[in-house]
Amino acid sequence: MKMQDIKTLITSGTIILAVALYMIFGRSPAEDQSTKSVTDQQGTITIEQVEEKTGNKRFEIDYIKAYDGDTIQAIINGEKRKIRLLMVDTPEMNYNKGGAQPYAEEAKEYTINLLEKAKKIEAVYDVGPETDNYDRLLAYLFVDNVLLQESLLNEGLAVVRYIHKPNNTFEDAFRDIQEKAQDAKLNIWSHEDYYQKDGFHPEVVQ
């Protein structure tokens, strides 16, 4: 066999090996992130803790759709109901008032992505009223055992807001989670003064 043939074989073999290794191990971080499901996340607030501290039991829901990052529609005991996530607020989509606020689309898509991939979605009430003035259910929502409120706060896509005692059992824990996102300047927190005590200020971002 000629030396040139040997070199060709070695080169071809190396390329084939490289392609095989890439197909097995070569997923980029971006690809991993895009396919990451809520079951890959680790929450600090467990559904068992919520049940213990509120005295309420979990119940399963069937997800239908998300209106925005913090409000969804689901079937509960055969009935369609809106569920508002307790103690968090995401930027408004403003369906009837013009354009969406900054990070509203991202928060909604984040929620949709988790809920559509979920194998199990469960809710737990706090110790106060179970509905708000709009007849929406107020609950902690767990997606494959990970608290959705915590996930949104972790990503800097929601803020701790609308605190109404006694429906605030995990307020301090929520604020601790939010503080980490603030320190990291994630999403909402990447723009100083975008969120203020009276709500979101799109003019700061635009």
Q: List pLDDT tens digits, range 107-154.
A: 999 999 999 999 999 999 999 999 999 999 999 999 999 999 999 999
Bridge-based pairing of strands 159-160 and 195-196 is unpaired
Rounded CA-CA distance 29/148 in Å is 23
Least confident of 5-9, 52-56, 57-61, 146-150: 5-9
Task: Name the percent of the chain lying above pLDDT 90.
Answer: 76
Is residue 150 among the annotated active site residues?
no
Rounded CA-CA distance 183/190 in Å is 9
Indicate which residue of 84, 106, 122, 150 is catalytic. Answer: 84
Tens digit of pLDDT for each residue in 4-18?
A: 554 444 444 544 444
pTM of whole model > 0.85? Answer: no
Tens digit of pLDDT for each residue in 174-194?
A: 999 999 999 999 999 999 999
Tens digit of pLDDT for each residue in 165-174?
A: 999 999 999 9
Indicate which residue of 106, 122, 136, 150 is catalytic. Answer: 136
* Residue 93 DSSP SS3: coil
Is residue 105 among the annotated active site residues?
no
Q: Residue 1 has what pLDDT?
A: 53
* Residue 196 DSSP SS3: strand
Is residue 175 among the annotated active site residues?
no
Indicate which residue of 51, 92, 105, 171 is catalytic. Answer: 92
Q: Are 84 and 111 in contact (CB under 8 A)?
A: no
Q: Are 118 and 148 in contact (CB under 8 A)?
A: no
| Amino acid found at 58 | R
Residues 6 or more apart whose CB falls under 8 angstroms from that of 187 comprise 103, 106, 155, 156, 157, 181
